[in-house]
Amino acid sequence: MLDLNELVDIEVTLAYVRYAVMLLVKMMLMSTITAFFRMKKKAFVNPEDTASFGEGENAKKYLRTDPDVERVRRIHLNDLENITPFLFIGFFYSVSGVTLSTALMHYRIFLGSRIFHTIAYLVPLPQPCRALAWMVGYLVTFSMIYKLLMKRMYLVLG
């Protein structure tokens, strides 16, 4: 019978938790940034959100889409689409027998790519800055998937 204590290298799993928390904090901050831009640009989507600006037409003019608000919302959605898969794959990867240094390299590059992606999207930096930032995080995730596939084959053969 396989012993879980042999499977889980606590150092690697703690590194995973540390980077997962940093990524989640980064992703959750997008909510606050969205709220900040909505108030700064006075661009809301729900009638009840503009009630404090007065009644009738006076409040209705704040029910509008703003390019900056939409930009922040796209970053948030892009985070959800990319960080959620990383959190699952990164966890499986952390218990796949990988060494601490290799795991840290993957986690660090991914975190860096997502932070740079957000900066490139917010400023915005000229393309292909944002595209490359996204691509690096995407490839790091697939590199971990590749390792998992190799490991599983080993388990089947071994």
**3-state per-residue secondary structure call for 68-80:** HHHHHHHHHHHHH
- Enumerate residues 49-78 that contact a second copy by CB under 8 A: 49, 51-52, 71, 74, 76-77
**Closest separation between CB of residue 77 and a second copy, Å?**
8
Stretch of residues binding a second copy (CB under 8 A), selected from 54-62, 97-105, 106-114, 134-142: 134-142
- Residue closer to a second copy (CB basis): 52 or 101: 52
Tokens of 36: 């900040």
Site for a second copy in 27-46 (CB under 8 A): 27-28, 30-31, 45-46
Q: Which of 66, 132, 145, 153 binds a second copy (CB under 8 A)?
A: 145
Residue among 2 and 157 whose Cβ is closer to a second copy: 2
Question: How does DSSP assign 21-53, residue by residue?
Answer: HHHHHHHHHHHHHHHHHHHHTT-BSSGGGGGGG
Residues 6+ apart with CB under 8 A from 138: 82
φ/ψ of residue 26, rounded to 5: -55, -45
User: Pick from 43, 82, 106, 107: which binds a second copy (CB under 8 A)?
Assistant: 82
> How would you label 45-58 residue by residue, b for 16+ Cβ within 10 Å and e otherwise?
eeeeebeeeeeeee
98 near a second copy (CB under 8 A): no
Rounded CA gap, 103 and 140, in Å?
Answer: 11
CA distances from 72 to 87, 89, 118, 131 (A): 22, 26, 9, 16
Q: Looking at beta carbons only, is 49 or 66 nearer to a second copy?
A: 49
Residues at the interface with a second copy (CB under 8 A): 1-5, 7-8, 10, 14, 17-18, 20-21, 24-25, 27-28, 30-31, 45-49, 51-52, 71, 74, 76-77, 80-82, 84-85, 87-89, 92, 121, 124-127, 130, 134, 138, 141-142, 145, 148-149, 152, 155
